Amino acid sequence: MNTIHRKTIKESLTLKGIGLHSGKTVTLRLHPAPANTGLVFFLYRGISKVRIPISLDHVVDTSNATTIGDGSSNRIQTIEHLLAAVHTLGITDCILEIDAVEVPIMDGSSLPFWEGIRSSGIKELEETIEPIRISHPMWVVDGDKYLVMLPSDELKVTYNIDFNHPLLRGQSYTTKLDENILGEDILPARTFGFLKDVEALQSRGLALGGSLDNAVVLTDDGYLNESLRYENECVRHKILDLVGDLAVMGRPFLGHLIASKAGHALDISLAKCIMSKVTGDELTSFKSKRVPLFSKSEVAQ
């Protein structure tokens, strides 16, 4: 693979939308950052702000979305759609300011984030970043759900979903995941949910921002939406979520991902498994390349 340079955005960018759960307007601002800053959120609380880096160590919840926090009560949820766009465009360093505890849902996909970042421009930095490569299969399993990553010189995915719904039984999709394919075939896929679940959530004061403008909504035997962006939009969105969740690792990654009925919890579990192994391998490799300060004969004396 060609050398991968770290990247940031050229100009600051402001995106506004509503929060999926609160239904309130959220302002998200992205700013250029120096190399090795990483991806860092600043959550504004009145006149103060809280720093929350995007990393596996800061993931605090994966129940309905991927949520990061600072170890106390400060949290930012639903970061995966934004991160899918950030990963696709190779952005490694960026400051993200937000005035609410959830990233705006926008149209339910990653498309608005992807288009916004592209319009602001992308700046290639001098520093490089090493992609994550694995040398042997790795997997996580939860009952009949599983997520596997196989060694590969490119990023690709085979994803299967199987919901108790006539339109979502045994739906699967296999594709390479380069920047063009992600931008055209994956990032525009919208989040989806079942009408009965949406109604139950709204009765509890949740999903107040959910609508046909930002989600594919399924009835008992069909869709409420007049049309879909893809015939298999739901499984494509699951791939979007997977890419966004794994982007929390903070590095480009290569491999063949094989998923069946996975979700945020398994995505993050696999990411932790990968980083644990990769960090150990890279540390061992580094140690083997070190030049000793003293020869064995000098040490013996």
Q: How far apart are CA 260 and CA 270, in angstroms?
A: 13
Q: How far apart are CA 284 and CA 86, in angstroms?
A: 30
Establish whether 237 is an annotated binding residue. Answer: yes
Establish whether 241 is an annotated binding residue. Answer: yes
Pairing state between β 155-161 and 171-176: antiparallel
Residues marked active site are found at 264
Residues with Cβ < 8 Å from 181, sequence gap 6 or more? 175
- The count of C-alpha atoms lying within 13 angstroms of the C-alpha of 260, restricted to the half-sphere facing its C-beta, is 11
Residue of 85, 65, 83, 77 whose CA lies nearest to 103? 77
Measured between alpha carbons, how far is residue 175 from residues 59, 109, 257, 289 in Å? 28, 18, 10, 37
Establish whether 5 is an annotated binding residue. Answer: no
Cβ neighbour number for residue 102 with a 10 Å cutoff: 22
Q: How far apart are CA 96 and CA 191, in angstroms?
A: 22
* Chain centre to alpha carbon of residue 198: 23
Q: How far apart are CA 38 and CA 154, in angstroms?
A: 23
Annotated binding-site members: 81, 237, 241
Binding-site positions for Zn(2+) read 81, 237, 241
